[in-house]
A and B are shown apart, each in its own frame.
Chain A
């Protein structure tokens, strides 16, 4: 069925290295997104009209434009506009961070507004100052709501990074294609084996993270 190709030479290791490239891009983008998303989410919750309007437009762009379109725009257009030549990997990190930041900021905003006013009022009655209110009352609650959702964002990021092959990054799918091409004569059914394994690899990368997210969500349910 084409699985024998994977045992030949270093093919399996090459596939895993390809997955590593995809995971590296998603990990970097996730870290940037979470940091920027936290900052922007908090800024937006301050309800300043200019910030809110800008954020609204930003969110709407991210919501409407497919990530692949953004990837094309940054990769093909950016260098023409600025004269700076971007590597495909840098372009994809920029796009995924741009997208992830919007998603993360929306999660933060959602979690912040889901805290009832009564919590702030009660803290004041108990004599906590603003900093204490946030540290002891608000942040722990927001954190519990946010953690499962942001972990979920990681799996979405990993899934989305499969798109980078479309701008020429050699990741797991591209490596798979190369292996199939190279063994077209000796094993004509290689496509089935290779793509099943890639399917499985992605599943194995994302499933534990989804489970963790679900587990935390259940554990911290009120």
Chain B
């Protein structure tokens, strides 16, 4: 391993890292938003919308992100819809993540026991109060582990960005390997940057899981 090479590659990887993180987190934010909206639609069983949401969730949970990207980035322009690589990355990740988040939030909402609802009613709570101060807080803590797992999964999926020619970490590594054939150094930096990106999230996630679990089970 040659450290002068690593030093000269570092800025390139740092730039790619920032781009990956930026688009990754925009995508995750989108997936959060989409997940919450869709989970509410499913939970309240809104007639037509909940059928559409079901189709969307099944379609995106059962196809790989790479295929979704190819469809959005290469397929749609042929049908007249053109979007830039960056927007495509964020939207693609948001759509994929949205389907996973919907499932997590929905199962969180449904996991709140019926007795909680009945008890709240017998205490004289209105439907609105029941939902915001009884169901929602419990549903959120139940869905934390699944949401954390989703975030880690989505951050890992960002490695597919290179397929739509976004200059992300994978793209940079592949490019540099192709140009100079310094495989070891490029792969080393690639691994280092992914560890920097994911290890804090993984650790924070475990802490968050323990904290939110504590609140429901009191143990």
Q: Which residues of A contact B (CB under 8 A)?
A: 1-2, 60, 63-69, 72-73, 76-77, 80, 155, 159-160, 162-163, 165-166, 173, 176, 180, 188-196, 198-199, 202-203, 206-207, 210
Contact = CB atoms under 8 A, between A and B. Distances in A.
Shortest beta-carbon contacts, A-B, top 4: A195-B75, A66-B159, A192-B78, A206-B62
28 contacts: A63-B202, A64-B198, A64-B199, A64-B202, A65-B191, A65-B198, A66-B158, A66-B159, A67-B156, A68-B160, A69-B159, A69-B194, A73-B187, A76-B177, A162-B64, A163-B160, A165-B66, A173-B70, A176-B70, A192-B78, A192-B79, A194-B75, A196-B75, A198-B70, A199-B63, A203-B63, A207-B62, A210-B58
Given A68-B159, A69-B159, A77-B184, A189 B79 contact: yes
Contacts of B61: 210
B121 interface: no
B152 A63 contact: yes
B162 A166 contact: yes
B163 interface: yes
Decide if the interface of chain B is mainly helix, strand, loop or mixed.
Answer: helix
**Size bracket of the B interface:** 35 or more
B74 A191 contact: yes
Nearest to A190: B78
Given A80-B183, A163-B160, A198-B67, 10 more contacts: A159-B63, A162-B66, A176-B70, A192-B76, A192-B78, A194-B75, A195-B70, A199-B63, A199-B68, A207-B58
Decide if the interface of chain A is mainly helix, strand, loop or mixed.
Answer: helix
B68 A80 contact: no
B195 interface: yes
Contacts of A190: 78
Contacts of A1: 79
Contacts of A206: 62-63
B117 interface: no
B170 interface: yes
Contacts of B156: 64-67
B173 interface: yes
B190 interface: yes
Contact of A196 (B71, B163, B173, B187): B71
Nearest to B162: A166
B183 A76 contact: yes
Contact of B174 (A2, A72, A180, A203): A72
B59 interface: yes
B85 to A, nearest CB: 15
A198 B63 CA distance: 9
Contacts of A192: 75-76, 78-79
A105 to B, nearest CB: 16
Given A64-B194, A173-B66, A202-B63, A72 B202 contact: no
B137 interface: no
A149 B75 CA distance: 33
Contacts of B152: 63-64
Interface string B48-82: 00000000001101111111101100111111000
Contact of B187 (A66, A76, A173): A76
Interface centre among A68, A69, A207, A210 (most CB of B within 10 A): A68
A166 B163 contact: yes
B67 A195 contact: yes
Contacts of A76: 177, 183, 187
Nearest to A207: B62
A60 B67 contact: no
B209 interface: no
A202 B76 contact: no
A67 B75 CA distance: 25
